Amino acid sequence: MRCLSFLSLALLSPLLVNAQLSGHVGPQTSSSSKASTKTCNVQNYGAVADKKTDIGPAIEKAWKDCAAGGVVYIPAGDYAMSTWVTLSGGKASAIRLDGIIYRSGTSGGNMFMIQHSSDFEFFSSTSKGAIQGLGYEFHKSGNLKGPRLLRFYDVTDFSVHDIALVDAPAFHLSLDTCKNAELYNMAIRGGDSGGLDGIDVWSENVWVHDVEVTNKDECVTVKSPAKNILVENIYCNWSGGCAMGSLGANTDIRNVVYRNIYTWNSNQMYMIKSNGGSGTVSNVVLENFIGHGNAYSLDIDGQWGSMSRVDGDGVRLQNIVVRNWKGTEANGAQRGPIKVLCAAKAPCTDLTIEDFAMWTESGSKQSYSCVNGFGTGFCLQKGDGTSTYSSVITATTAPAGYNAGHMANDLKAAFGTAASIPIPTIPTSFFPGATPYTALAGH
């Protein structure tokens, strides 16, 4: 079980306190206690570490015996999986994945679907457990209709940690209508294509931290509905970048903090994306961001052309704070480091951009553009949103303090879509100078 200390909360600003977690996250019962109650080794249910025998039926049988209190144990070794599993009704249970599961089936859906469960843990005790989706077998022909690797629906008080999710045919990890979750000490490696999201969250009271993502779509993204979400120490290493959305009708996202986000050679450092729609996003803090080589830096786009327009005047953004951003963007004249584009009938209000120092890697100028974004900082204008405006500011001098460090493991090239992606070692650092909250398991 995890929670923020009283001291750490006391040091934060009032807005940050309101946007923190609303209570405990993670399982209520330790994995060791669960294991002492009962351990169901999948090898006793027919699993064979020969990379040929389907492990799916063995997992289902082991779950049936341990779902009510115990640990489904997948020992070290290489396993094939051609039957997807839907594991439901668990209470005070866990899955300990110390082996590597290789997708061998071709169905869509979810390889692992955990639902209607509580007090749950999906983890590796050695930090060497992995799911290898071999998505390239789909992607090399342009097929993105394969399975997701891991999805949670209606699960409370749970954690996922110390595992690698690799080359998903579709999404890697999704949290749908969940509560009180902690995701940490993870490496996600996907192909260089859209539609291969890293982590998607539409849930309540979730802490995502110390995660590396490589893909060409969402790094760690919050979707609607969601509230009380804390995302920190994230390494978007040649990714699409972190985001919020796509946002559509009846959007309801509140109390979100992204902190210590390092983004290398990605589409954006952070994007809030919508096109039409309705509802609100409120009380958001985006702080301590470092970026290098990204196409976009801060990109708030209420007319995002990559999604079909949704009926409605637009999603309203309220009380958004952006602060302490450093680094460089790929081409500041082509895509400036600040873009705020809000709908005329759904303006963005109470925006703050401060301590923001980014500079271009190409050329000698960059632009800041704002449309209907009201608040303070750069091209934002004061006001209550009852008027409309458009503003562009061009800078020809680098701002003071834009220099920022790099991560040692910045990739030199993307993983493609035509060959298998190697299973990575989970890193021990996810943001320059930041120590992970929890040491890797087995270390």
Write the pLDDT tens digit of every residue in 126-170. 999 999 999 999 999 999 999 999 999 999 999 999 999 999 999
pLDDT attached to residue 16:
40
Average pLDDT over residues 378-391: 96
Positive or negative, the CA dihedral 350, 356, 361, 364 is: positive
CA–CA distance, 17 with 255 (Å, rounded to integer): 9
Helix spans in 199-294 (H): none
* Residue 292 among the catalytic residues: yes
**From 292, 311, 313, 410, the catalytic residue:** 292
Residue 69 token pair: 């209190």
Average pLDDT over residues 425-439: 96
In degrees to the nearest 10, what's the CA dihedral of 272, 175, 164, 292?
A: 10
Cβ within 8 Å of residue 29, ≥6 positions away:
92, 119
Instruction: Write out pLDDT tens, residues 46-88.
Output: 999 999 999 999 999 999 999 999 999 999 999 999 999 999 9
Q: Report the candidate in 29, 147, 143 with the shortest Cα–Cα distance to residue 91.
A: 29
Weakest mean pLDDT among 6-15, 36-45, 281-290, 411-420:
6-15
pLDDT attached to residue 66:
98
pLDDT attached to residue 9:
35
The confidence band for 20, taking pLDDT boundaries of 50, 70 and 90, is confident
Q: Report the candidate in 210, 208, 265 with the shortest Cα–Cα distance to residue 235.
A: 210
Q: What is the DSSP letter of 15?
A: H
Instruction: Write out pLDDT tens, residues 330-368.
Output: 999 999 999 999 999 999 999 999 999 999 999 999 999
* Residue 119 among the catalytic residues: no
* Domain architecture of the chain: domains with CATH: 1-7+22-238 (2.160.20.10), 239-405 (2.160.20.10)
The confidence band for 186, taking pLDDT boundaries of 50, 70 and 90, is very high
**Is the pLDDT reported for residue 8 higher than 80?**
no
Burial class (CB in 10 A: 0-12, 13-18, 19+), 142: exposed
**From 192, 200, 217, 299, the catalytic residue:** 217
Query: Taking the model in full, what pTM does it have?
Result: 0.95
CA–CA distance, 442 with 3 (Å, rounded to integer): 23
Question: Do residues 381 and 391 lie in contact, with contact meaning Cβ atoms separated by under 8 Å?
Answer: yes
Q: To the nearest whole number, what is the mean pLDDT of the chain? A: 95
Instruction: Write out pLDDT tens, residues 237-285.
Output: 999 999 999 999 999 999 999 999 999 999 999 999 999 999 999 999 9
pLDDT attached to residue 277:
97
Q: Report the candidate in 137, 76, 72, 148 with the shortest Cα–Cα distance to residue 104.
A: 137
Q: What percent of the chain has pLDDT over 90?
A: 95
Q: What is the DSSP letter of 45?
A: G
